[in-house]
Amino acid sequence: MEQEKNTLAADIARMTSTPEGHTVPPSDSKTFRAAFEDLLQGAKQHELWLMLGLQDIKQRYRRSVLGPFWITIATGVMALALGLLYSMLFQLPLADFLPHVTVGLIMWNFISGAIKEGSTIFIDNEGLIKQLPAPLSVHVYRLVWRQTLFLGHNLIIWLLLIIIFPRSLGWEFFLVIPGMLLLIVNGVWVSMFFGMVATRFRDVAPLLEALTQLLFYVTPIVWTTKTLTDQGGAVADRARIAELNPLYHYLEVVRAPLIGEPVAAYHWWIVLAFTAGGLLIAMVAMRQWRFRVSYWV
């Protein structure tokens, strides 16, 4: 028995030892290059995540007559109810306040979907991650693509409002294009980062869901900062607290062009700064944890 143990130990030592004059090349799994390569390879497999995103919608609304338009109807009904209620409470013209609320809700659905569904993206795709040799970013692109499709459906409500409440949309309307692109890019890094963190620490997902609900009330969606600043005094000073909320700036760069209002330049600078910082954080997280996700799910 002792001889067998010694033989086994010798065999293990021989197999794990490095031959003289040879060095073990360092692993590149924990590098920024590997993290960027994951994002790049995932983008190249666009046919896969485009098809999976469409399949998700078909599966969710299978045998439904209206399909994803149920989300559009629900968003429209909620926007109408909140717009009517708060326009009377704040004594605001419905023609001005209803588009503000509606576009805010449409964009909020995308943001909250990226946060809440992003936190469970890898857990929900456990089977594919273990069986399909694909970059992790494929699942993130799939989620963001699905949320973008829902966003496109909901923009029908905005189009109806423009017809009902006509307003002048100048050249600033075209700022909605870079605004949307920034929103989508942020959806990618948010889903990637929170997806990895929530996969490792399972309490993060319900925590994010609660925090997202809280953020809805402190973000100017069913209320406006102008209503507070017009009151003057201490109330106007407290209204500036809303600018500490980064989601307010994300909403403004998209909502303002859609409802014919100018966008202050500082909103763009803040959004660009948070986008760059978020991408950097996501890249660091991918460098450290990307290769461990398949073991955590």
Residue 7: the pLDDT is: 66
Query: Span 258-282, mean pLDDT?
Result: 93
The tokens of 44 are what?
Answer: 């190249």
The overall average pLDDT reported for the chain is 85
Judged against a pLDDT cut of 60, whether residue 15 lies above it is answered with: no
Helices vs strands, H then E, count in the chain: 15, 0
With respect to residue 31, please indicate whether it lies within any of the assigned structural domains.
yes
- What length is written for the chain? 297
Q: Report the share of the chain in percent with pLDDT over 90.
A: 42
Domain with 38 in it: 27-296
Could you give the CA distance from residue 82 to residue 105 in angstroms, rounded to a whole number?
10
Could you give the CA distance from residue 41 to residue 35 in angstroms, rounded to a whole number?
10
Could you give the CA distance from residue 176 to residue 159 in angstroms, rounded to a whole number?
14
In one letter, which amino acid is 143? L
Contacts for 260 with CB less than 8 Å, ≥ 6 apart: 167, 168, 169, 170, 172, 173
The tokens of 271 are what?
Answer: 């959004």
For the chain, the farthest-separated pair of C-alpha atoms sits apart, in whole angstroms, at 91
Q: Which residue bears the tokens 């929103």?
A: 183
With respect to residue 10, please indicate whether it lies within any of the assigned structural domains.
no
Judged against a pLDDT cut of 80, whether residue 276 lies above it is answered with: yes
Looking at the structure of the chain, the number of domains it has is 1
Could you give the CA distance from residue 268 to residue 4 in angstroms, rounded to a whole number?
70
Q: Which residue bears the tokens 């997280």?
A: 285
Could you give the CA distance from residue 294 to residue 297 in angstroms, rounded to a whole number?
6
Contacts for 143 with CB less than 8 Å, ≥ 6 apart: 53, 113, 114, 117, 118, 121, 187, 191
Residue 8: the pLDDT is: 57
CB 140 within 8 A of CB 121: yes
Could you give the CA distance from residue 102 to residue 124 in angstroms, rounded to a whole number?
30
CB 225 within 8 A of CB 239: yes
Could you give the CA distance from residue 196 to residue 290 in angstroms, rounded to a whole number?
7
With respect to residue 2, please indicate whether it lies within any of the assigned structural domains.
no
Residue 29: the pLDDT is: 63
CB 189 within 8 A of CB 42: no
Query: Span 245-251, mean pLDDT?
Result: 91
With respect to residue 15, please indicate whether it lies within any of the assigned structural domains.
no
CB 226 within 8 A of CB 232: no
CB 251 within 8 A of CB 104: yes
Could you give the CA distance from residue 153 to residue 73 in angstroms, rounded to a whole number?
10
With respect to residue 3, please indicate whether it lies within any of the assigned structural domains.
no
With respect to residue 100, please indicate whether it lies within any of the assigned structural domains.
yes
With respect to residue 9, please indicate whether it lies within any of the assigned structural domains.
no
Tens digits of residue pLDDT in 105-163 = 999 999 999 999 999 999 988 888 888 788 889 999 999 999 999 898 899 999 998 88
Angle of helix 32-44 relative to helix 137-164, nearest 10 degrees, comes to 60
Indicate the pTM of the whole model: 0.85
Angle of helix 176-200 relative to helix 246-258, nearest 10 degrees, comes to 150
**Cα 176 from chain centroid (whole Å):** 17
With respect to residue 6, please indicate whether it lies within any of the assigned structural domains.
no
Judged against a pLDDT cut of 90, whether residue 28 lies above it is answered with: no
